[in-house]
Amino acid sequence: MNDRFLKSEERKRIILDLLSSNDFVSIHKVMDQCNVSEITVRRDLTELESKGLLIRTHGGAVKSVAGGRLFTYDNKISRNRTNKEAICRKASSFIENNDIIFIDCGTTLSFMSKYVTKFESLTVITNSLPIVSELINFPGIKLILIGGEVINDRKAIYGLFADRNISRFHANKAFIGADGVSLTGGLTSYDENEASITLKMAENSDKVYLLCDSSKIEKDSFVKFAPLSAVDVVITDNELDNRHLDMYKKNNVTIINVK
């Protein structure tokens, strides 16, 4: 067998895809799919288990509550809702009339729609279907929906065309999310397509605000897509561990924790 055929991240995505449609995946199944050795598969399963994405069993792995398709919009929207709203309320204070802003998809960012309707003139560029649904009837807001493939369980638009469309725009500010953020790992996501969109928004903005609840701080997810230096301001909730807050400030990261 030749372990060089597929990179580690590609193999892990295959494993998660197999688990999205099956309750159990065997080591031998992954070996056949990826053309790699048993020791390589075991190492991949161990790394995915450490991130909470599956549970190791004899001869393979089963779904975890956190794994695969269970990371859907509907399943995430109610988690830490109060904190998410507080984060978005604070983030909206950095917006000014006539701004052009990116708003990322994701359940935290979806609450931004409550706090941007007060502006008399604002351009919002987004791939989030809930954001568009909430803002479509406000005449002061010019809405630009990024075109591409609609992913139902994420209620968002992704893909190659979406990446290209975002690159045609430039914003004053980007309000983005991540599934994990750490000083060593930077920004991480459970999904490559979501990560790609978020990165494009950050790259095409003058200033970048990362909105994430404290449960994601100093956690690394599946796909690394940007260094922490790509973000100008981190906005999180007041449940952030003081130890982590001090760490970030010592590393010159502008971090705001809100009530």
Does the pLDDT of residue 22 top 80, yes or no? no
Q: Do residues 63 and 70 make contact, with C-beta atoms less than 8 angstroms apart?
A: yes
- The DSSP annotation for 182-234 comes to ETTTEEEES-HHHHHHHHHHHHTEEEEEEE--GGGBT---SEEEE-GGG-SEE
Nearest CA to 109 out of 185, 197, 170, 206 is that of 197
Identical fold between 8-70 and 74-258: no
Strand 255-258 vs strand 233-237: parallel, antiparallel, or unpaired?
parallel
pTM recorded for the entire structure: 0.75
| Backbone phi and psi for residue 243, each to the nearest 5 degrees, phi listed first | -65, -40
Average pLDDT (177-190) is: 91
The CATH classification of domain 74-258, taken from the options 3.40.50.1360, 3.40.1160.10, 3.30.470.10, 3.40.50.2300: 3.40.50.1360
Domain 8-70 is found in CATH 1.10.10.10: yes
Domain residues of the chain, as ranges? Answer: 8-70, 74-258
> Average per-residue pLDDT in the chain?
88
Whole-number Å distance between alpha carbons of 73 and 151: 10
Does the pLDDT of residue 3 top 60, yes or no? no
Coil/strand/helix, residue 60: strand
**CA-derived radius of gyration, the chain:** 19
Please report which confidence band the pLDDT of residue 190 belongs to, taking 50, 70 and 90 as the band edges: confident
Q: Do residues 8 and 44 make contact, with C-beta atoms less than 8 angstroms apart?
A: yes
Q: How far is CA 184 from the centre of its chain?
A: 17
Whole-number Å distance between alpha carbons of 84 and 82: 5
